[in-house]
Structure 1
Amino acid sequence: MKLFTKGLLLIAVPSLVELTLLGVVFDTQEQTEQAAQRVTNSKQILYQSSAIVEPLLRQAARVRTGMVIGDASMIDRHTAWVDVSDRLSKLETLVADTPEQVERVHKMRRAIEAYRAQTATVSQALHEGRSMKPLAALESGALPEPITALRDDLAAFGEEASRLDTERTGALARRRARQQHALIAAVLGSMLVWAGTAMVFARSIGRRLEVLTDNAERLGNGRPLAARLSGNDEIAALDAVLHQTGARLREAETEQTSLKARLEARAQELAGVNEELRQETQDNEMFIYSVSHDLRSPLVNLQGFSKELQVSCDELDSIVVEARLPEAEHERMAHILDGDVRESLQYLRSAVTRAAAIIEALLRISRAGRLEYQWQRVSVGRVVTRVVDTLESAIGQRAAVVTVRDLPPAWGDPGAIEQIFSNLIGNALNYLDPERRGRIEVGALEPGPVEENGSRAVRMRTYYVRDNGLGIPAAYMSKVFRAFQRLHGNVANGDGVGLAVVRRTVERHGGRVWVESTQGAGSTFFVVLPEQPARW
C-alpha cells in the first residue's frame, strides 16, 4: 500500500469517527434545544392561560353595572373580546402539538362565544328599552354559566399544562445532561482516536522511517546496510534504492581500486617515459652542444683558409698583371681568377657564415635548456625598460612608439626574462609595417586564478607584447615557435630561433606562450609567467 493511501486512511478513519461523534453531539444539542423550546412554550402557555379570565371578569362586571344603571354603552366595548380572542389564538398555536389541549381551547372559545352572545342580548334589550327580567340572572352577583364553564375548562387546561411543563422541564434537564455526556465522550473519543492514529503511524511508518534513516547513515559511513524493508510503498522503494546504491558503490570501490592500481602502473610507466624523455632531451642538447662546438673549429679553419685563398688570389692577380702574359692567356687567367675562383670563394664564405650562424643558433637553443637559473622575484617593468633602452636606436630608425604599461613582478631568472622580452620586442620592431607609423605596447592582463600544476598551486601572470605590424598568416600560426622558421625574410634578417628560444625559456619557468595575429593588422604575443614560487 502506497504512503499516500496510508496517509489518506490515517486521516480518513479518525475523521469519520470524529464526524460521527460530532453528529451525536449535534443531535443531542438539537434535541436539547427542542426540549428547551418546549419548556419555553409551556411557560408561555401557563402565562397566556392565566391571563384569559381577567378580561372576562371585567367584562362581566361591566355587564352587571350596565344592567343596573341601564347604560348599554358600558356593555358595547369590543376591546375585551378582541383581547380574549387574541389570547385564545396564541394559546391554540402554542398547544398545536397537544390535541387534548387544542380541544380544551376550542371549548373555552365556544363558552366565550356563548357569553358574548348573552351580553349582546343584554345590550340590545337596553337599547330597545325592554324588560331585564328574563336576564335577571346576569344582573345577580353570580358568575354567568359560560364563564363558569370557561373557568372549569381553563382549570383543567392549566393542570394539564402544568403537568406537561413539569415533564418537559425534567426532559430538558435530562437532555442537557446527555448533551454534556456526549460532548465529553466526543472529546475523549477524539483524543483516543488520534492517539491510536499516532501509535499506528509510529509503529507502521515511523519505525520504517527509522530503518530507512539508519540505512542512509550506514551508506554515508560506508557500513553494511540492514535488511531490506518489506512492502511496496515509497519507503520500501527508497530503501531498495539505498541497497542498490550500496551495491553500486561497492562495485565502484572495486573498480576504483582496480583503476587506482592501473593508474599507479601507468604513472610509473609515465615516470619512466618522462625520465627517458628527459635523458633523451639532455642527450640531444649535449649532442647539439658537442656537434656545434666540434663544428666551430673546422668552420674557423674554413673561414681562415678562405681568407688566405682570397689573399692568394689577389697575389696571383698581381703576378698575372706583372707577368705581361699574352692577351689570350691574360684574359683566360683573369677569367679564372676573377670569375670562377672568386665566385667559388664567395659562395664558400657565404656557406661558412651561414653554417656558423646555424651553429650559433643551435648553441643558443642548447644553452636555453641547460643554463642554471637564479630564481628570484624579478621586476618585469625594469627589465622591459632596459630592453627598450637597448633598442632605442632601432626604435628611432623605425620611428616607432613603444608604450610600457604597469608590469607586475614575476618569479624567475632575470637574464632569461630579459631575453624573452628582448626577443619579442625585437621581433615586433623587425616586422612593423613600413606603410604606417609603428606602435608597440607592452602590458599585463588582470591576475588570473591559482593554477594547479600537478601537485603544485601557482599564481600566474599574463604579459603581452602587441604591435600593429605585418601580422602572421593563419597557415603559419602553427610554425611560428619552431626553430629556423622565418616569415617575411625579405623584411628583416635573422636566424629564425628567437621565438623557439622564447618558448623554451618560458616553459622552463613553468609558463606558456602563444600568439594571436591578423595578417596586415598586427600581432599580440602572450607570455604566462609565475608570480610567486610554487606551493606544494
Structure 2
Amino acid sequence: MKLFTKGLLLIAIPSVIELVLLGVVFDTQEAATRAARSAENSKQILWQASSLVDPLLRESARVRTGIALEDPSFIDRHAVWTEFADRIALLSRMVADNPAQLARVDHMRAAAYAWRAQAGDVADALRAGRSIAWARAQGAALPPEIETVRSELAEFIDAEAQLDARRTASSSFTRERQQDALIAAVVGSMLVWGAAAIVFARNVGGRLAALGDNAWRLGEGGKLAPALSGNDEIAALDAVLHQTSTRLRDAEREQVALKRQLQARAADLTGANEHLRQETQDNEMFIYSVSHDLRSPLVNLQGFSKELQVSCDDLRAQIDSAGLPADEHRRMTELLDGDVNESLQFLRQAVGRAAAIIDALLRISRVGRLEYRWQRVNMGRIVERVLTGLESGRGLDAARIDVRELPPAWGDPAAIEQIFGNLVDNALQHLDPGRPGHIEIGALAVLPEEGGAGNASEVSNVDGREAAAKPAPRTGAATQPRTRTYYVRDNGVGIPAAYLPKLFRAFQRLHGAGTGGSAGREGKASSVGGEGIGLVLARRIAERHGGRMWVESVEGSGSTFFVALPEQPLRAA
C-alpha cells in the first residue's frame, strides 16, 4: 500500500469516527433542546390554566350583585368574555398535541359558554322585570357550570403538572446525556487520534526510522539492516539504499584493486623515473665529458692547420724566390694554391663545425642543470630586449615585426628570453624572399572553462584558420598551474608536413625544409646557418617551466610557434 493511501486512511478513519461522534453530540443536543422547549411549554400551559377561571369568578360575582340590586348593567360585560375567549383559545392551541387535555379544554369552554348563556337570560329577565327568585335561592353558591369548569381545570392542571414533571425530568436527563456525549466525543476523538498516531508510529514512523538507520549506516560504511517489506515508497527507498550499498561495496573492491594496480604502476613509474633520471644524468655527464675531451684534439687540429697554412705560405715564398723553371713553378703553385689550400680550408671548416657541435652539446647538457630564478616576468620587456639584441644583418630590416599585448608569465626571465630569441631568430632566417616579411608576436585569448587551473582552452586565428592551443601535459594536480599561451607567427615559406615530426630533434636543420619555423626554397639550403638546436633548447626550457611548445605550419604560407607558460608559481621561488 502506497504512503498516500496510508495517509488517506489514517486521516479518513479518525475523521469518520469523529463525524459519528459529532452526530451523536448533535442528536443529544437536539433532544435536549426539544425537552427544554417541552418543559417550558408545560410551564406556560400551567400559568395560563391557573388564571383561566378568574374571569368566570368575577362574572359570577357581578351576576349575583346585579340580581341583588336588580340592575342588569352589572351582568352584560363583553370584556370578560373576550378575555376568557382569548385565554381558552390560547390554551387550546398550546395543548393541541395532547388529545386528553384538549378534550378538557373543550369541556371547560362548553360549560363556560353555557354559564354565559344563563347569565344572559338573567340579565334579560332583570330588564323585563321578571322574577328571579331561583337566582336568589341559589345564594352564594357558584353555578354548576363554573363548578364544572373549576373541576375540569383542576384535573387539567394536575395532568399538566405531571406532564411538566416528566418533561422537566426528561430535560435534565437529556442535558446530562448531552454532556456525556460531548465528553465522550472529546475523549473518543483524542483516543482515535492517539490510536492513529500509534499506528503511524508503529507502521510509517517505524519504517521511516529503519530507513533513516539504513541511510546512516550507508553513510558510515556499515552493514545495512534487512530490507523492509512492502511495496510503498519507503520500501522502494530502502531497496535503493541496499542497491547503493551493494554498488558501493563493489566499487570499494574495484577501488582496492585499482589502488593496488596504481601502487604497482606508481612503483614501476618511480623506478622508471629514477632510471630515466640516472640515464639523463649519465647522458649529460657523457655529453659534457665527450665535449670536454674533444676540445683538446680540435684545438690541436686547429693549431696544426694554422701551422700548415704558415708552412704553405713560407714554402710559396721560397718557391717564388728560388727561380725555378716556369713549368715547375706553375706546378708547385697550383699544388699549393689548389689541393693543399682547399684541403686546409675543408679542415678548418670541419674543425669549426665540430667546435660548434661541441658548444651545442654543452648548451643542451646545461639546460637541465641550470637553477632558474622564478619570478613574475614582464613578457613585453622580454620581447623588447630580444628585438633590441637582434642584428640587422639577420633579416630584421627585411621584416615588419608587430608585438601585441603580452600578459605576464611566471618563470626565469633569462630562460624565457632565450625561448623568444630562438623563435624570432628562426622566423627571420626563413622568410620568403618573394614577399615582404611579417612577424607577429602575441598571446592567445583565454576562454573560461570548467576544470580550473591547468585546463585553460585557448583559440586563435592563424592566417584565417583556427588553431587550438592545447594545454600543457599534467605533471601532478598539486604542481600544474594555469597556463598562458604565446605565439610567434611568420609569413615565411612554411614547413612541409613530412618534416614536422623531426622539427624538435637536435641537429635537424632539415636543409631545404629549414630548421623549423619556415621551410627553405630550392637552392637555399646552404644559406641557413646554425647548429639545429635552437628549437630543441626552446622546447626543453618551456617544458622545465611546466609548459610546452608546438607548431602549426602550412608550406608556402608561414608557420606559427606556440609556447604555453605558467601564469602562477609552479613551485616556491
Give the TM-score normalised by the residue count of structure 1: 0.70
Alignment of 1:176-325 (within 5 A): 176-229=175-228, 234-278=233-277
**Hey, what does 1:460 align to over in structure 2?**
481
Q: Larger % of helix: which?
A: 1
The answer (yes or no) to whether the contact 1:62–1:74 under 8 Å persists in 2 is: no
The answer (yes or no) to whether the contact 1:442–1:465 under 8 Å persists in 2 is: yes
Go from structure 1 to structure 2 and tell me whether the alpha carbon gap of 1:44 and 1:369 turns closer, same or farther (over 3 Å shift): same
2:102 matched to 1:102?
A: yes
Alignment of 1:44-123 (within 5 A): 44-54=44-54, 75=77, 81=82, 84-111=84-111, 113-114=113-114
Go from structure 1 to structure 2 and tell me whether the alpha carbon gap of 1:466 and 1:218 turns closer, same or farther (over 3 Å shift): closer
Go from structure 1 to structure 2 and tell me whether the alpha carbon gap of 1:54 and 1:532 turns closer, same or farther (over 3 Å shift): same
Go from structure 1 to structure 2 and tell me whether the alpha carbon gap of 1:99 and 1:534 turns closer, same or farther (over 3 Å shift): farther
Residues 233-289 of structure 1, C-alpha deviations (whole Å, 9 max, x = no match): 555554454444444433333332222222222223333444455556566667777
2:387 matched to 1:366?
A: no
Go from structure 1 to structure 2 and tell me whether the alpha carbon gap of 1:76 and 1:170 turns closer, same or farther (over 3 Å shift): closer
The answer (yes or no) to whether the contact 2:408–2:567 under 8 Å persists in 1 is: no
Moved more, 491-500 or 381-390: 491-500
The answer (yes or no) to whether the contact 2:288–2:362 under 8 Å persists in 1 is: no
Moved more, 96-105 or 502-511: 96-105
Q: Distance in 2 between matches of 1:99 and 1:474?
A: 131
Task: After TM superposition, give the deviation of residue 38 of structure 1 in Å.
Answer: 1.0
Moved more, 148-157 or 107-116: 107-116
Matched residue type, 2:540: R
Task: After TM superposition, give the deviation of residue 515 of structure 1 in Å.
Answer: 6.5
Go from structure 1 to structure 2 and tell me whether the alpha carbon gap of 1:169 and 1:439 turns closer, same or farther (over 3 Å shift): same
2:568 matched to 1:534?
A: no
**Hey, what does 1:36 align to over in structure 2?**
36
Residues 173-204 of structure 1, C-alpha deviations (whole Å, 9 max, x = no match): 12222222232233333333444444444445
**Hey, what does 1:482 align to over in structure 2?**
504
Go from structure 1 to structure 2 and tell me whether the alpha carbon gap of 1:401 and 1:248 turns closer, same or farther (over 3 Å shift): closer
Runs (5+) with no aligned partner, structure 1: none
Go from structure 1 to structure 2 and tell me whether the alpha carbon gap of 1:303 and 1:341 turns closer, same or farther (over 3 Å shift): farther
The answer (yes or no) to whether the contact 2:45–2:94 under 8 Å persists in 1 is: yes
Go from structure 1 to structure 2 and tell me whether the alpha carbon gap of 1:181 and 1:302 turns closer, same or farther (over 3 Å shift): same
2:415 matched to 1:416?
A: yes
- The DSSP-based 3-state class of the residue aligned with 1:460 is coil
Task: After TM superposition, give the deviation of residue 59 of structure 1 in Å.
Answer: 6.5
Q: Distance in 1 between matches of 2:102 and 2:220?
A: 89
| Aligned with residue 491 of structure 2, among 470, 489, 493 | 470
- The DSSP-based 3-state class of the residue aligned with 1:457 is coil
Q: Distance in 2 between matches of 1:261 and 1:416?
A: 41
| Aligned with residue 501 of structure 1, among 537, 542, 547 | 537
Matched residue type, 2:568: E
Matched residue type, 1:422: G
**Hey, what does 2:26 align to over in structure 1?**
26
Q: How many residues align?
A: 513
| Aligned with residue 375 of structure 2, among 371, 374, 377 | 377
Runs (5+) with no aligned partner, structure 2: 456-473, 506-514
Task: After TM superposition, give the deviation of residue 298 of structure 1 in Å.
Answer: 7.7
The answer (yes or no) to whether the contact 1:285–1:369 under 8 Å persists in 2 is: no
Q: Distance in 2 between matches of 1:465 and 1:39?
A: 109
Moved more, 15-24 or 395-404: 395-404
Q: Distance in 2 between matches of 1:116 and 1:303?
A: 181
The answer (yes or no) to whether the contact 2:427–2:490 under 8 Å persists in 1 is: yes
Q: Distance in 2 between matches of 1:466 and 1:193?
A: 82
Give the TM-score normalised by the residue count of structure 2: 0.66
The answer (yes or no) to whether the contact 1:441–1:467 under 8 Å persists in 2 is: yes
Q: Distance in 1 between matches of 2:247 and 2:71?
A: 124
What is the root-mean-square deviation in Å for CA atoms of aligned residues? 5.7
Go from structure 1 to structure 2 and tell me whether the alpha carbon gap of 1:438 and 1:205 turns closer, same or farther (over 3 Å shift): closer
Q: Distance in 1 between matches of 2:122 and 2:131?
A: 11
Q: Distance in 1 between matches of 2:500 and 2:111?
A: 135
The answer (yes or no) to whether the contact 1:510–1:529 under 8 Å persists in 2 is: yes
